[in-house]
Amino acid sequence: MDKRLTEPQHAAAYGVRFTQREIDLAHQMAALGLAWNPAAGMFLYDDKERFGGSSPIQDHVYVILDIALFVKIAGGVEKLRTEWTWLPTWEEGRAWLRAEGRTDAEVLDRVRERVVDAGLHDREALYELMVAARR
């Protein structure tokens, strides 16, 4: 495995963990054709263990540090988009929802409701909104 994929100092810098529900919702987003453009700093889920070995961030979770390397490993940008699952950060999810026409007030109200009423994590609630936007 290329050490640029697993350098421990990078994992500690991110400190991000994804719940299983977030991963499941991200798979739903992918199945619904959610569009995303791979870029450095984005998190991906590799369910087919294409990188071989474990990730220092979280099992199967990688962050794109070198976009050219990930595109090369994937066999192209389109394969990266379609064969890996994007795990949006809070900021990326909000930006995606804005591009879909959702207002910040609408998103925050819905997230607050789902966190308080359903006990979800805020990113889980955000992912639910993203899934709903694609249905």
Q: How many Cα atoms sit within 13 Å of 128 on the Cβ side?
A: 16
Measure the CA angle with vertex 94, ends 92 and 98; round to 5°: 115
Q: Is the pLDDT of residue 14 over 70?
A: no
Which run of H or of E encompasses 75?
none
Q: Is the pLDDT of residue 11 over 90?
A: no
- Per residue in 29-63, pLDDT (tens digit) is 999 999 899 999 999 999 887 777 678 888 899 99
pLDDT value at residue 127? 97
Measured distance CA(133)–CA(135) in Å, rounded: 6
Q: Is the pLDDT of residue 80 over 60?
A: yes
Other residues' Cβ atoms within 10 Å of the Cβ of residue 38: 17
Measured distance CA(135)–CA(121) in Å, rounded: 22
Exposure string over 49-64, b if 16+ CB within 10 A, otherwise e: eebeeebbbbebbbbb
Question: Which residues 6+ apart lie within 8 Å of 122 measured at CB?
Answer: 90, 111, 115
Map tokens 């910040």 to a residue: 104
Phi, psi of 58 (to 5 degrees): -175, 150
Measured distance CA(35)–CA(108) in Å, rounded: 22
Domain boundaries, the chain: 3-134
- State mean pLDDT over 95-124: 93
